[in-house]
Structure 1
Amino acid sequence: MNKWVASFAALATASVSAAAEDLENTAARFGMRETILQISLSPSGDKIAYVSAGPGHTEVVNIVDLNGGADIVSITGNTEQIADITGCEWVTNSRLVCELYGVGNASGLLLPFTRTIAIDDDGSDMKMISERDSFRALGFRQNGGDIVALDVEGDEGRILFTKEYVKETTIGTRLANDQEGLGVDSIDVFKGSSRSVERPDAQASRYIADENGDIRLKYRDLVDGSGYLSGERVFMYRDAGKSSWNRMEPVSVNGKVRDDFAPVAVDAGRNVVYGYAKENGFDVIIEAPLDNLANGRIVMSRDDVDVDSLIRIGRQRRVVGATYATEKRAIDYFDPKLDELATALGNALPEHPLVNIIGSSADENKLLIVASSDTDPGMVYLYDKTSNQLEPLLAVRELLSEQAMSRMTPVSYKSADGTEIPAYLTLPIGAEAKNLPAIVLPHGGPAARDEWGFDWLPQFFASRGYLVLQPNYRGSAGYGEDWYGKNGYQAWETAISDINDAGRWLVSSGMADGEKLAIAGWSYGGYAALQSQVIEPDLYKAVVAIAPVTDLEYLREDARRYTNYSLRDEQLGQGPHIAAGSPLRHADRFKAPVQLFHGDLDLNVDVRHSQMMAKRLESAGKNVTYTEFDGLQHNLGDSKVRMNMLIAIDKFLASALGN
């Protein structure tokens, strides 16, 4: 071999190896789950507890004593693939309760469940707080309980905690439980002992306490004759210090009855209830005196987007404001002092405009704050009101703390009927928005929306040289009921048309190379990616669908063994849109290569959607690859799996688009 040819071959091999190593490292950084999955501050404000992602699918609970050198001490962890540690809450300065969420497979029926443990902050004295399953039980206890209130009855170690009652067989005993439904117990988290404070209600789904720890609200979800949830919810309330429940009468605002009012919180000091209702098609926040529900008032509203969440603070979860998202998310505080503080924090962190108070000490003098942006996953800070000091603690994603990120820009484009569709555009760093390989990335839901801020998936794609567009198509939530319409299933033609218009706009504007245009999505986003091929098979040159819906009738039938069947049935409706809107039934229309991913414990979208889609495409002679992950749920919460998936997607797109 000529020495120059040999040298060139060696250089090429080294370049390929370097490129492969770069891809693997990049995928590992972006695929790694958060360093901080959840974090909380102790009542004294001197310690933090946070749940972090360990290797693969594991989670670790860590403690940091802020007065003791700030060393990180891991006290317990989880290696069970079917369950995740979702969070820990301080009950006292030395005792925590931690919740696990999982999905089990009972003879082909996927069942979600939660369990809660109490543990000392040194990892000792672990106790199960959730009611243990009995061999006599006539059913599986899915609900392991939720904290309703902390620091109850003046006792630091006692919490109010929901308890699911399951009937037991009476054979061989007179002591079997014959009650069912959701109640509330007062539990000593040190001893594990409990006593009932709220008898079980067979139709109760939630209890809400005020800031004093008194249970003031109860949700009752009604069922139809077949045992399915009917969609009708009854709200009950009671006066402070009383035991009897009253059905909440409609709230009125300026003489107008608000039948849609849904209460979510009670302020005991002012004796008012907060809740959501519609005003001119948008979600608004209303408050009303509990002793005069006819005298309600709107405390926050917008005429362009929904006010979608209350902001709460402290161990008593008192309401201090509300939040909404226009091009970027904003918070309006009802509390003038917090509003002033938020302004000051925003000025102190100008490069991180998304500032959220996520925890506080018991006296609220110390606050946990997360500040983030589109190019920064976030930093956790401790703010001390007394000293006026703001101290950085931990990066939300440690592996990405030094990674350069791409800017996310709010944009809009015209749909085929002239409607302006809001979207977010992410460009590769240093790239000119001209003739780039591009990915349209519709969000899941469909009753959801994309927001300005850090998002690991588009950031990975941008780091690999792709322009990414995330459209908030009609059928998205957050923009009012007219924008939501009939929902993204019954009105899938509108939603998919908007998504395809996103791709056409990228090409017609000159930003994207039409021969290197792909579409990718997760859940409904994956459905949209597949259905785009049914409608316009020549538009996208590659399709990536993660945990996608592939047949609308499957989606209906998947719910038949669950209590939400009637709600799913109503969401989907009946008619020709079911067959026309199911990509599984139109595999012959596909032209672009397809890549599918799915976990086999997916409760949101059953794995058979992807299994059958792959088979139909193969039978039709189409180019399809399918990867199935054992023991994983809808979010594929495994860092190694996500890394390998990102590597596979990158290689697939490079091959399909000729990059």
Structure 2
Amino acid sequence: MSLLFLVAGTAQAQEGDAARRFGTLPGVTQVSLSPDGQRIAFVAPNKGQANDLYVVEIADGAAPRRILRASGDPETLLWCRWSSDARILCQVGGREDYGGQIYGFTTLVAVDAAGGNTKVLSTRRGQHARGYDFRGGRVIDWQPGEGGSVLMMRSHVPESNIGSLITKNDEGMGVDLVDVTSGSITVVEKPRRDAVEYITDGNGTVRVMGTHSAAGQTGYLSGMKRYFFRPAGGGDWEPLSTVNLRANEGFDPVAVDAATNRAIGFAKMDGRTAVVAVKLDGTGKGETLYRHPEVDVDGLVRVGRDQRVVGATYATDRRQMVTTDTKVAAMANSLSRALGGRQVYFIDASADELQWLLWAGSDVDPGRYYRYTPAAKQLRPLLEDRPLLSALTLSPVEAIRYPAADGTMIPGYLTLPPGRSDAKGLPAIVMPHGGPSSRDEWGFDWLAQYFAQAGFAVVQPNYRGSSGYGDKWYQDNGFQSWRTAIGDVTDAGRWLVKEGADPARLSIVGWSYGGYAALQSGVLAPDLFKKIVAIAPVTDLAELKEEVERYTTGAIMRDFIGSGPHIREGSPAQNAASIKAPVLMFHGTLDQNVDIEQSRIMKRALDSAGKRVELIEYPGLAHDLGDSDARTAMLARIAGFLPR
């Protein structure tokens, strides 16, 4: 056996180990603290897409006890949370293919904290239902107190039986007070066909309702969502606000503060999203609570079992928090200092708020959950997000700015291999984010870190068309303004080369819209990137417009994609002949976000044009390819494909 063979074999084994470490799903996907603060419930992956609910006593450090399992075919546990010290609620969800159409579904179930006594809380469908509704409902109020019941949004479908006088005419979304042990209900809000959302004050009173009606006889939902409020003393619903979903304008309520009788939500201020409070007294009087001159304030800080609003968050180079609650602010600041500057997020709290569940992480730390006891100043580590990465030295993430062709400075993030301070001589990757109504943020990113471990310099650009920077930056979105968005992406590659990266080993990798951006970059700048990887990409905008017509939001999505020359010019599948670089694509067959036909169309177009292309399909997987083995295999295949 030659030395060269041994070295190659060792390198392959190391790369396979790295793919396994980064491709393995997080060891815990969601955690909840019991009302007494003494136990946690957490969801962890099992083989394939299966996952399990565990309960563990914090004090004695005993092994976790498995309470519930979802098979992954097709159900998985989306989240689980304590409703009382004795009962846990879980949302189960999945996707199924019905006659070539992929539908998502959810169901709410309750289970004893000791296991057993499982009960479905979603509305049951009779055999004579006159329609379909896959919405399993949502908990909107956890009823602070003993926790024997919750307020749930529940959907209803009319039922009738020919030859019988027994009918059920309820239709739409209503609110019920549901006993989590017996399943018995008390109707709080009768179902309404146009109701899509209800908001409580966190103390058991429904104060806001959102409605969304069809536009005329089209069957498609209109672009207007309307909100109504009920006065504090009760009475009929009164108009609160209208949200234009196409323009993303209008007051969009998220929470109700009972103490001040205000709805708290988001609205545009000078082209950027701000947090606004509006009086629930019919005057429409509003007040801006939080705004930022450069970026959108896009998140609320909510704590306690009543989920009261105590602040807001926004992302500049890093995500920041502002809060009016001095206790929460002091805890966050002191904990962040104690944890070496890591970002701290409050996940849950005991009923008396003497115990807090928090998560902390950073760019070089995938994150860990802790229980914090303020009175004792005790911070107890509980669970790691990614224990397989604990032995690795991860790469710091640097916020950067680079110039676009028109001189605009584009924000983004640079991740270099461990120990490197520059990109000189390195193979490099541009990795545009998905969305396009999204943005990258500072922190741990499993894909970027994997590529950095493999020796690549990685740039993640927040190109124009990204959200988070206001209307002017968003433009007409990344499809209608594709030339600007993709131009910014390709300029990230040119910046890397100017920084010393090897132009002969420059590649582009993207997921979802990022996959679209990767392919369209090959059209716009065919000589720039030497390899293209697209995961679950959009490839043909005309086909996408046809696909969205299957759904009730079809008219809104049709307008989002738009009409005109960009439909052809901005579709990589319609311009496959311009692409020079070899293309590698991955796609799940149960992708409800981007139909797998998009990748198949692209492959046929590239094949017809005589280009090098490979499409790897994953049967039964959704948009996120949420399977450890599939992700591990994908990473290993990408590593072997990219120029090193």
Q: Alignment identity in percent?
A: 45
Counterpart mapping for 1:239-638 below 5 A = 239-248=231-240, 260-291=250-281, 293-352=283-342, 354-431=343-420, 432-510=422-500, 512-638=501-627
Are 1:143 and 2:135 counterparts?
yes
Shift of 1:155: 5.4
Tell me, yes or no, if the aligned pair for 1:214 and 1:240 is still in contact at 8 Å: no
SS of 1:15's partner is helix
Q: 1:265 and 1:351 mapped to 2: Cα distance?
A: 30
1:488 aligned counterpart, secondary structure: helix
Report Cα offsets for 1:75-109 as digits up to 9, x if no partner.
12122233321110101102101011211111111
Q: Distance in 2 between matches of 1:10 and 1:133?
A: 67
The answer as to whether partners of 1:250 and 1:293 remain within 8 angstroms in 2 is no
Partner of residue 206, structure 1:
197
- 1:220 is aligned, of 187, 192, 211, to 211
Quick check: 36-45 or 338-347, which moved more?
338-347
Q: Structure 1 residues 485 and 249, CA, compared in 2 at 3 Å: closer, same or farther?
A: closer
Which shifted more, 282-291 or 66-75?
A: 66-75
Q: Which amino acid aligns with 2:626?
A: G
Aligned to 2:163: 172
SS at match of 1:248: strand
In structure 2, C-alpha distance between the alignment counterparts of 1:211 and 1:178, rounded to whole Å: 30
How does the TM-score come out when normalised to structure 1?
Answer: 0.95
1:194 aligns with 2:185: yes
Task: State the SS of the aligned residue for 1:556.
Answer: helix
Alpha-carbon distance in 1 for matches of 2:363, 2:632: 21
Q: Which residue among 52, 55, 60 is the counterpart of 2:44?
A: 52
Q: Deviation string for 1:500-538 (max 9, x for gaps)?
A: 00001111222x110000001000000000001111110
Residue matched to 1:124: 116
What is the TM-score of this pair, normalised by structure 2? 0.97
- What's the counterpart of residue 3 of structure 1? none
Task: State the Cα deviation string for residues 225-258 of structure 1 (Å, max 9, x = none).
Answer: 201111101101112351521111589xxxxxx9
- Contact map agreement 1:475 1:485 (CA 8 A) in 2: yes
Which whole-Å CA distance do the structure 2 matches of 1:420 and 1:250 have between them? 35
What is the distance in 2 between the residues matched to 1:259 and 1:444?
23
> Quick one: distance in 1 between partners of 2:85 and 2:258?
26
Deviation at 1:69, TM superposition (A): 3.1
CA distance in 1, matches of 2:617, 2:471: 36
Preserved CA contact (<8 Å) 1:115 1:143: yes
Q: Secondary structure at the match of 1:448?
A: coil
Residue identity in the other structure for 1:609: Q
**Aligned residue for 1:94?**
86
Structure 2: distance between partners of 1:542 and 1:492: 21
Secondary structure of the residue that 1:265 maps to in structure 2?
strand
**Displacement after TM superposition at 1:370 (Å):** 0.6
Structure 2: 5+ residue stretches without partners: none
Question: In structure 2, what residue type is equivalent to 1:127?
Answer: K
In structure 2, the CA distance between the partners of 1:304 and 1:259, relative to structure 1 (3 Å rule), is closer
AA at the equivalent of 2:313: T
Shift of 1:294: 4.2
- Cα shift at 1:14: 2.1
374-383 or 17-26, which deviates more: 17-26
Query: How far 1:115 sits from its partner (Å)?
Result: 0.8
Q: Secondary structure at the match of 1:362?
A: coil
Shift of 1:118: 0.5
One-letter identity of the residue aligned with 1:183: G
Q: 1:621: Cα distance to partner? A: 1.1
SS of 1:222 mapped into structure 2: coil
Coordinate RMSD, CA, aligned: 1.5
SS of residue in 1 equivalent to 2:266: strand
Give the conservation status (yes or no) of the 8 Å contact 2:142–2:202.
no
In structure 2, how many angstroms separate the alpha carbons of the residues matched to 1:337 and 1:480? 31
> Matched residue of 1:436: which SS?
coil
Change (3 A) 1:293 1:400: farther
User: 1:293 and 1:399 mapped to 2: Cα distance?
Assistant: 56
In the TM superposition, structure 1's runs of 4+ consecutive aligned residues that sit over 3 Å from their partners are: 292-295
Q: Distance in 2 between matches of 1:236 and 1:521?
A: 41
> Partner of 1:26 in structure 2?
18
Q: Distance in 2 between matches of 1:250 and 1:25?
A: 52
Structure 2 counterpart of 1:168, one-letter code: E
Q: Say whether the 8 Å CA contact 2:241–2:252 is kept in structure 1.
A: no
Secondary structure, counterpart of 2:400 in structure 1: strand
| DSSP 3-state at the match of 1:230 | coil
Aligned to 1:182: 173
Correspondence for 2:9 = 17
Question: SS at the partner of 1:81?
Answer: coil
What letter is aligned with 1:411? Answer: I
CA 1:549–1:199: 2 relative to 1, 3 Å: same
What count of residue pairs does the alignment treat as equivalent?
Answer: 638
Matched-pair contact (CA < 8 Å) for 1:249–1:293: no
Distance in 2, Cα, partners of 1:249 & 1:456: 40
CA contact (8 A) 1:32 1:640 kept: yes
2:375 aligned counterpart, secondary structure: coil
In the alignment, the residues of structure 2 paired with residue 83 and residue 243 of structure 1 have an alpha-carbon distance, to the nearest angstrom, of: 41
Give distance in 1, aligned partners of 2:444 and 2:146.
41
* Inter-partner Cα distance in structure 2 for 1:403 and 1:100: 34
CA contact (8 A) 1:30 1:400 kept: yes
Aligned-pair distance for 1:24? 1.5
Quick check: 2:195–2:209 contact (8 Å CA) kept in 1?
A: yes
1: CA distance between counterparts of 2:436 and 2:147? Answer: 43
Alpha-carbon contact 2:238-2:282 (below 8 Å) kept: no
Note the C-alpha offset of 1:347: 1.6
Stretch deviating more after TM superposition (615-624 or 321-330) = 615-624
